[in-house]
Amino acid sequence: MSEIKTQLVVLGAGPGGYSAAFRAADLGIEAVIVDARETLGGVCLNVGCIPSKALLHVAKVIDDAKEMAAHGVTFGEPKIDLDKVRGWKDSVVSQLTKGLSGMSKMRKVKHVQGYGKFTGSNTLEVDGPDGKTVITFDNAIIAAGSEPVSLPFIPKDDARVIDSTGALEMADIPGKMLVLGGGIIGLEMGTVYRALGSQIDVVEFLDQLVPAADKDVVKIYQKFIKDKFNVMLETKVTGVEAKKDGLYVTFEGKQAPAEAVRYDKVLVAVGRRPNGKLIDAEKAGVHVDERGFINVDKQLRTNVAHIFAIGDVIGQPMLAHKAVHEGHVAAEVISGMKHYFDPKCIPSVAYTDPEMAWVGITEKEAKEQGLKVESASFPWAASGRAIASGRTEGMTKLIFDKDSHRILGGAIVGINAGEMLGEIGLAIEMGADAEDIALTIHAHPTLNESIGLAAEMYEGSITDLP
Ligand code: FAD
């Protein structure tokens, strides 16, 4: 058994954990980072954001090549070498995890590999491949993340039932796959497998895909993918029976097929559960709620003053960039700064085809909060760049406060929507109003131009000088 004494221990090396440890080290705090994985990067780099985007890149190139036929250029049928596709994805992940390891060494942040659990208010015990390590700390940041939710009525030990991690492994390309859950992760993986040749059904309990997103944006997305995925809304899975020749799934609800449907694989993508209950937090006196979330204040402090928590383990939205910013704040507070986490907005992006991206308030949320808002939209059917790219299905929508005309939210559907969203987020953070955005000269012809044009469409955005 080895022993380490440190100023700061960070439990979990995902985007939240490594950002916190690096910021702390930059501020002169001695930091140790603990993770069960061999590599840094957590879910996001190893089995989340990054490998999924590497595969989505492959899917996009296949789809783009097919689309070119309509513009007079025909390529042959794609030949998929799954080992090489997997190799590409793995090389992207390893490039980034190696980079993190280098940055960690440069900052003298020690990585202890193993599963960590609190044994007291200032001690953590790590069970790793090299035995046990007891870490005594002055401060701790819990960045233990989350794991996929499984459903009790679905066979667990059948390799044909997979979660997002299993889907990213790309063991094969199933002939027919059911994506159970119409959220971002399920749709992204469905996009990948469809491009590689699978037939995809998506089942969603609610009345729209990606329920948190702007409904107009989702409507356009749903229309665009109508012929690509078989989507069953307001429908739920009631059972999955594993037979030799496939998984037989029964459904109930509005669009439920009358008979059980046979699938080669079922991807369960019904959300993620925080890991708060798995770390013996109570031994450190840290309160964890019944779902596994840890409550924190605006400085990311738990109910125990020297223990902080960040990222997926503290709640929605479960997104990497939220975790990163929280990690920075927690480290800064530990170093003595009076910082706190209080963003006006956190962007969300579904890297589907087309992409859906939204930031700030949606009209539904404005209604729930009793806010008076108005919106203005610019359809991409009138965008020169969208037309020249053969992708006119998009739309850019901005949501303004009715009285002040300040921008409160925005949503985009279309190619590159995720890249475009940053401008709207910045406008919200800076308190810009419709006129500021309309008067900002956007380069022509760009898709970003549609943000300025949507603002121009908003009545009252062009005013005279006082
Ligand atoms: P995590 O990244 O979950 O990392 C937690 C780490 O803690 C893990 O490495 C785990 O091994 C370790 N750990 C937990 N408990 C212990 C313990 N007791 N001892 C030792 N180690 C422990 N988000 C985006 O913003 N954009 C995307 O495009 C995106 N795509 C995604 C795609 C997929 C398929 C998935 C699954 C997720 C995606 N996410 C995306 C979500 C994103 O991955 C998470 O929000 C993010 O990783 C959360 O970061 P975190 O620091 O809270 O923890």
Condensed to tens digits (0 to 9), the pLDDT of residues 78-108 reads 999 999 999 999 999 999 999 999 999 999 9
For the cut 90, the answer to whether the pLDDT of residue 461 exceeds it is no
Q: Check 57, 111, 325, 444 and give the catalytic one.
A: 444
The Cα-based distances of 204 to 155, 186, 221, 246 in angstroms read 19, 10, 15, 21
312 is in an annotated binding site: yes
Tokens representing 84?
């090489």
> Which residues in the chain are classed under CATH 3.30.390.30?
347-459
* CATH architecture of the domain formed by 347-459: 2-Layer Sandwich (3.30)
Confirm or reject: Cβ of 300 under 6 Å from ligand 1: no
For the cut 90, the answer to whether the pLDDT of residue 462 exceeds it is no
Average predicted confidence (pLDDT) for the chain: 97
- pLDDT of 466 reads 80
**Token pair 């920075």: residue:** 328
Q: How far apart are CA 63 and CA 58, in angstroms?
A: 9
Mutate which of 18, 35, 44 for ligand 1? The one with the most ligand atoms within 8 Å of its CB, which is 44
pLDDT band at 216 (very low <50, low <70, confident <90, very high): very high
Contacts of 135 (CB under 8 A, 6+ apart): 3, 4, 5, 6, 9, 32, 34, 112, 116, 123, 124, 125, 126
Q: How far apart are CA 360 and CA 346, in angstroms?
A: 7
Q: Is 444 annotated in the active site?
A: yes
CA angle 273, 232, 247 (to 5 degrees): 70
Mean pLDDT of 445-463: 92
410 is in an annotated binding site: no
Q: What is the CATH number of domain 161-270?
A: 3.50.50.60
pLDDT band at 236 (very low <50, low <70, confident <90, very high): very high
Eight-class DSSP state of 12: -
pLDDT band at 434 (very low <50, low <70, confident <90, very high): very high
Eight-class DSSP state of 340: -
| 357 CA from centroid of ligand 1 (Å) | 20
CB count, 10 Å around CB of 197? 13
Mean pLDDT of 257-281: 97
pLDDT band at 464 (very low <50, low <70, confident <90, very high): confident
Query: For the chain, what is the total number of helices (H) and then of strands (E)?
Result: 13, 22
Confirm or reject: Cβ of 12 under 6 Å from ligand 1: yes
> Which residues in the chain are classed under CATH 3.50.50.60?
2-147+273-335, 161-270
Q: How far apart are CA 170 and CA 27, in angstroms?
A: 41
Confirm or reject: Cβ of 190 under 6 Å from ligand 1: no
pTM: 0.97
Q: How far apart are CA 54 and CA 85, in angstroms?
A: 9
Confirm or reject: Cβ of 164 under 6 Å from ligand 1: yes
Cis peptide before 445 (omega within 30 of 0): yes
Q: How far apart are CA 203 and CA 240, in angstroms?
A: 13
**Token pair 């929508």: residue:** 397
CB count, 10 Å around CB of 262? 15
For the cut 90, the answer to whether the pLDDT of residue 156 exceeds it is no
Mean pLDDT of 306-315: 98
- pLDDT of 460 reads 77
| 47 CA from centroid of ligand 1 (Å) | 8
Q: Is the ipTM of this complex over 0.90?
A: yes
Tokens representing 440?
């900002």
Mean pLDDT of 294-315: 98
| 313 CA from centroid of ligand 1 (Å) | 9
CATH superfamily of 2-147+273-335: FAD/NAD(P)-binding domain (3.50.50.60)
